[in-house]
Amino acid sequence: MNFFEELKWRGMVHDYMPGTEEQLMKEMTTAYVGIDPTADSLHIGHLVSVMLLKHLQLAGHKPIVLVGGATGMIGDPSGKSEERNLLTADTIENNLQSIKKQLTRFLDFGNIPNQAEIVNNYDWMKQFSFLDFIRDVGKHISVNYMMAKDSVKKRLETGLSFTEFTYQLVQGYDFLHLYEHKNCKLQMGGSDQWGNIVTGTELIRRKANGEAFALTCPLITKSDGGKFGKTEKGNIWLDPAKTSPYEFYQFWLRVSDEDALKYLKIFTLLRPEVMEQLALEHHPAPHLRLLQKTLAKELTIMVHGEEQLQTAEDASQILFGAGTSETLAKLDEATFLSIFDGVPLFEVPKAVIEPGVNILELICTHSKVFPSKGEARRMLEGGGLSINKNKVASIDASINTSDLINQKYLLVQKGKKNYVLLKIV
C-alpha cells in the first residue's frame, strides 16, 4: 500500500490537487505541515498533522515540520472569529524547542535519506523587509484572488486586520521558500488550510514557474458535534505535566462508539486487518469497549510509553472497575500513590481532621476541591459526591481519621469521572 492509498483507507484525505498522487508515485517527495507554536506542547489536535507526516515518512518520503515562528506571530484568520494575541519571539522560541522534543517520538530525525526536518519560518521571514515582501511576493498574487478565499470572506462581515489578511501570503511564501530551498513539493494540513496552501502553489507556479501540490485531511469531528480534543479541563496535551498520562488514557477511553474506529484509523498505525477484527469483536459486545481500549492503549504507548500506560490502566481499573471501598482500603501506599499519580491532590493538615470535620468544610474551606460551597452543596444534594467510593448522603456528614485510607488519604469523587485525592499531613 502506498502513502496515498494508506491515507485514503484511513479516511485522512479530504481533498488534493490533481497530480498529487502521481508526484508521490514518481519520486521521493518532500512534504510539510505547519504547526503554530502557540504553546510549549503539542495537543492531540496537532496529532493529525503529525500522523500525516508519520505515514509520509513510513512510505519513504521526507517530512518537514514547519513551526510557524513568524506566522504564529500573526495568526491565521481561518476559523477564528477574532484576531489573536501576538506572541513574542522569546515565547515562540521556547515553545519551538519543547515541540521539537515531542516530535522526535513520532518522526525519525536520524541520519537517513528521508530524515525528518524541523524548520522555523521566522528564520527566513525575520529579515524580509516589508518593501521586499510586497515587491517580490505581493506582486504575484492579486487582491481579488486573496479576497475569494473562504477564510477571508467569512471575516469580511466582522472585519479582519490587514495583518490577518496578509496571512495567506506569508504562508504561501513559506511554501515557495521550502520549494526553492528544500525541493518541497507538497503541503499538507487540515481542510481549513486548503485556501492557504493553494495560495502557496499558485505563488510557486507564478514566481518559480514550478509545480507543487496540496493535500488536506478532514477536520476531526466528534459524532455529537462537540469540539474534538477538548474536555471540561481544556485541551488534551502531550506534555505529561499538562495532561497526566492517566487523563490522556481516559480521554481516549471515553470516545464514543461512533468515533472510536475513525480515531483508530487516524491516530494509530494498526493495519486494516487488525482493525476489522477489532471492529468485529467490538460489535457484539460494545460495553467491553475494545475499540476504545485499543485506541487508548496505542496512543498512550506512543506518547507516554509502556510504563505510563500500565499505571493508567491500573488506575482506571481501580477507579472504574469493580473497585469498592474495600479494594481501596487494601492497597498498600506505594501502589496507591502510583495509581493516583496524575489525579489532582490537595494537602490538608492533620489537625483539621482529627476532631472530625464537616464534609463541606473539608472540601471547600480546607482544600479547594470545589470553588464554592454552593457548588459542593448542589453536587452533594444531587447525589454526585462520594468519598472513598461511598456516596455522601447528607451535608452534615463528617469525616474523621477513621475514614482515611492508609491513615493518610481520602479519595473524593465528583460525579462519576472526576477524582481528587486529599492527603493528610
Cell representation of residue 66: 514547519
**In the stretch 267-306, what mask flags binding to RNA with x, by CB under 7 A?**
-------------------xx-x--x--------------
- Report the nearest approach of RNA to the CB of residue 159 (Å): 6
Q: Among residues 30, 36, 46, 207, which one is catalytic?
A: 46
Based on the shown chain and the rule CB under 7 A, indicate whether residue 100 belongs to the binding site for RNA: no
Contact window for RNA (CB under 7 A) among 8-16, 174-182, 301-309, 414-422: 414-422
**In the stretch 365-394, what mask flags binding to RNA with x, by CB under 7 A?**
x-----xxxxx-xxx--xxx----------
Cell representation of residue 45: 489536535
Cell representation of residue 247: 487523563
Based on the shown chain and the rule CB under 7 A, indicate whether residue 235 belongs to the binding site for RNA: no
Based on the shown chain and the rule CB under 7 A, indicate whether residue 101 belongs to the binding site for RNA: no
Task: Give catalytic status of residue 80 as yes or no.
Answer: yes
Q: How far are the Cα atoms of 107, 140, 221 from residue 268, in angstroms, in the given order? A: 14, 41, 17
Task: Give catalytic status of residue 171 as yes or no.
Answer: yes
Q: Among residues 38, 102, 166, 310, which one is catalytic?
A: 38
Cβ closest to RNA, residue 285 vs residue 334: 285
What CA–CA distance (Å, rounded) separates 185 from 251? 36
- Report the nearest approach of RNA to the CB of residue 331 (Å): 17
Q: Identify the CA nearest to 46 among candidates 109, 123, 98, 88.
A: 98
| Cross-strand pairs, 412 | 387, 420
Based on the shown chain and the rule CB under 7 A, indicate whether residue 65 belongs to the binding site for RNA: no
User: Cell numbers 521521493 correspond to what residue?
Assistant: 28
**Cβ-proximal residues to 115 (8 Å cutoff; 6+ apart), any chain:** 62, 108, 109
CB-neighbour burial class of residue 245 (10 A; exposed 0-12, middle 13-18, buried 19+): buried
Task: Give catalytic status of residue 192 as yes or no.
Answer: yes
**Count of residues near RNA by CB under 7 A:** 39
Task: Give catalytic status of residue 55 as yes or no.
Answer: no
Contact window for RNA (CB under 7 A) among 195-203, 246-254, 299-307, 325-333: 246-254
Q: Among residues 192, 257, 314, 341, which one is catalytic?
A: 192
Q: How far are the Cα atoms of 78, 138, 336, 352 from residue 173, in angstroms, in the given order? A: 17, 10, 54, 63
Radius of gyration of the chain measured on its C-alpha atoms: 25
Task: Give catalytic status of residue 46 as yes or no.
Answer: yes
Based on the shown chain and the rule CB under 7 A, indicate whether residue 103 belongs to the binding site for RNA: no
Based on the shown chain and the rule CB under 7 A, indicate whether residue 234 belongs to the binding site for RNA: no
Phi-psi region of 39 (alpha: psi -120 to 50; beta: other; left: phi over 0): beta
Contact window for RNA (CB under 7 A) among 15-23, 69-77, 153-161, 184-192: 153-161
Counting Cα atoms < 13 Å in the Cβ hemisphere of 95 gives 22
User: Cell numbers 507538497 correspond to what residue?
Assistant: 186
Cβ closest to RNA, residue 193 vs residue 294: 294
Task: Give catalytic status of residue 292 as yes or no.
Answer: no
**Residue 208 contacts residue 179 (beta carbons within 8 Å):** yes
Counting Cα atoms < 13 Å in the Cβ hemisphere of 355 gives 3
Q: Which residues in 300-359 contact RNA (CB under 7 A)?
A: 316, 319-320
Cβ closest to RNA, residue 97 vs residue 161: 161
Based on the shown chain and the rule CB under 7 A, indicate whether residue 105 belongs to the binding site for RNA: no
Phi and psi at 69, nearest 5°, equal -60, -40
Cell representation of residue 220: 476531526
Q: Which residues bind RNA (CB under 7 A)?
A: 157-159, 223-224, 226, 231-232, 250, 253-254, 256-258, 286-287, 289, 292, 316, 319-320, 364-365, 371-375, 377-379, 382-384, 414-418
Active site residues per annotation = 38, 43, 46, 80, 84, 171, 192, 227, 230-231
